[in-house]
Every structure is written in structure tokens, then in C-alpha cells.
């Protein structure tokens, strides 16, 4: 017996629009960052997360969870940033583990990258949508994210 709830036309339209837009937005942001700064979108996200943290540093596990990335993938990217002198890894002062810390050079690179990145984010998504559409999308995708993250509290990536 087939119990599959197939997508109707409107559901399929939403799903394919979501997939296409997500892929294209990520590609545009990656291209802009790579061209202007040499950073990938994920590397920019790592540096931004570190910059936002009170110490300018985060445990690698916490950083992976915040960015919703695997520990191995994050380790590779942090290693690339470390080779470039933008991030350093060191033992954690306040608990067990390794922290990634934004260097002064990394903070300066992030400050140089941010204006172009924000302009591209505005160009490809923010300014295309009305304030009401942005609110609805943020609420809806926030619910999707929260539902997928339910029960993952304390999960080690």
C-alpha cells in the first residue's frame, strides 16, 4: 500500500523555488567573497561567528553547532584560515577542548570583507523582498530550522 503524501503543484513550486534560490544565493555569495577577498562563504561565516562571540573565540564544537557544520568540515576550514593567519587554534582557557580565535589580521580582513558581503546579500535577497515577505520567510524558515534542531541539544558534530 502506498501511503506517500505526494507534493501537490503548489507544494512542489515552493520546494523547487526554495532549492533553486538557496543554491543560487549561496553561489552568488561565495563568488563575491572569493573574488573580492579570497574567502569562501563558510570561512566568512566562521570569522563572523568568532567576531560576534564575547571573547573573539569559540570552542570548535560550539562553532560547528552554531554554523550547523560537521566538526571535520569545520576543522578543515579553520585550518585554512589558520594558514592564512586569520584564525588561530589553542587550548581552551575556560573549559576542556580547543578554541578557534580570530586574530587581529582576521578581524581586519572581516572588516574589509563585510561591506561587499552585505551589499551582495542586499542585492540578491533582501532588496528583492518586501518587509512583510522578509518577516514571513524568517518566521517560516526559523520554524523549519528549529524543528530540525529539536533533540540535537548537546549533540557532538
Domains with residue ranges and CATH for the chain: 28-149 (1.10.10.10)
Judged by average pLDDT, the poorest of 18-32, 78-92, 140-154 is 140-154
- Write down the pTM of the prediction: 0.85
Reported as a single tens digit per residue, the pLDDT across 99-134 is 999 999 999 999 999 999 999 999 999 999 999 999
> HSE (CB half, 13 Å, CA atoms) of 40?
11
Q: Which of 14, 31, 66 is nearest to 45 (CA)?
A: 66
Is a pLDDT exceeding 70 seen at residue 79?
yes
Residues forming a β-bridge with 101:
57, 88
The continuous run of DSSP H or E covering 58 comes out as: strand 57-59
Number of helices (H) and strands (E), helices first, in the chain? 6, 3
pLDDT given for residue 151 in this prediction: 63
Amino acid at each position: 500500500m502506498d501511503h506517500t503524501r505526494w507534493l501537490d503543484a503548489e507544494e512542489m513550486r515552493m520546494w523547487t523555488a526554495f532549492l533553486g534560490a538557496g543554491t543560487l544565493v549561496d553561489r552568488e555569495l561565495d563568488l563575491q567573497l572569493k573574488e573580492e577577498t579570497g574567502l569562501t562563504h563558510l570561512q566568512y561565516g566562521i570569522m563572523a561567528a568568532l567576531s560576534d562571540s564575547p571573547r573573539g573565540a569559540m570552542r570548535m564544537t560550539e562553532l560547528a553547532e552554531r554554523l550547523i557544520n560537521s566538526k571535520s568540515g569545520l576543522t578543515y576550514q579553520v585550518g585554512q584560515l589558520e594558514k592564512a593567519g586569520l584564525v588561530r587554534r589553542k587550548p581552551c582557557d575556560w573549559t576542556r577542548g580547543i578554541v578557534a580565535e580570530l586574530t587581529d589580521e582576521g578581524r581586519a580582513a572581516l572588516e574589509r570583507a563585510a561591506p561587499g558581503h552585505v551589499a551582495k546579500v542586499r542585492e540578491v535577497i533582501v532588496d528583492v523582498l518586501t518587509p512583510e515577505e522578509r518577516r514571513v520567510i524568517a518566521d517560516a524558515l526559523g520554524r523549519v530550522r528549529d524543528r530540525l534542531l529539536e533533540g540535537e541539544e548537546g549533540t557532538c558534530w
